[in-house]
Amino acid sequence: MFLEERAQKFEYKLNDTDDQIIEYIVNNKKLVVTMSIQSLAASLYTVPNTITRLCKKLGYDGYSHLKNSLKEELHTELKGQDMVENSLYTTVQKTFDLMDMDKIKLVTRLLREAKNILFFGVGDSVIFCEMMVKNLKVAGKQSDYSIHPHEIRPILIWRQRR
């Protein structure tokens, strides 16, 4: 069980001083695992016995047990962070692998050659349409979008006649 979880579980046993000590430890885990109980107590303007009593309230055998638990937490957090970073990298790589560069080049050429670009969006795609129109206008392209399904056909017919 992580320190934060223990603090929540045993909240009813903790006083304001305990809360301040826990906050310091949570915000400085990497530092605390290297500190002696005396140096931690000194940095918190308290005595080692207060730290020991807090450790007992949180279900640890003592300060050494707390430090070992914090080391495991840090290791778990780093491992989890590596897994997330690896997962993000893999996801982005798979997305690039799925892309057809010939189609992307074709769409890029068509967008570059178009005088007017019109987007139609319904539901969740409206946000994408609005974003694309804003980006294309910044790039100097005439563009617009419609969010009403019944406008699609008349606008397409009108655009073809122009």
95-113: average pLDDT: 87
Averaged confidence pLDDT in the chain: 87
Q: What angle do CA 32, 36, 38 make, to 5 degrees?
A: 115
Which class in CATH covers the domain with range 3-94?
Answer: mainly alpha
pTM: 0.50
- Higher-confidence residue: 97 or 126? 126
126-140: average pLDDT: 93
DSSP 115: S
Q: Give me the residue spans of the domains in the chain.
A: 3-94, 100-161
- The string of DSSP codes covering 31-96 is HHTTS-HHHHHHHTTS-HHHHHHHHHHTT-SSHHHHHHHHHHHHHHHHHHHHHHHHHHHHHHHHHH
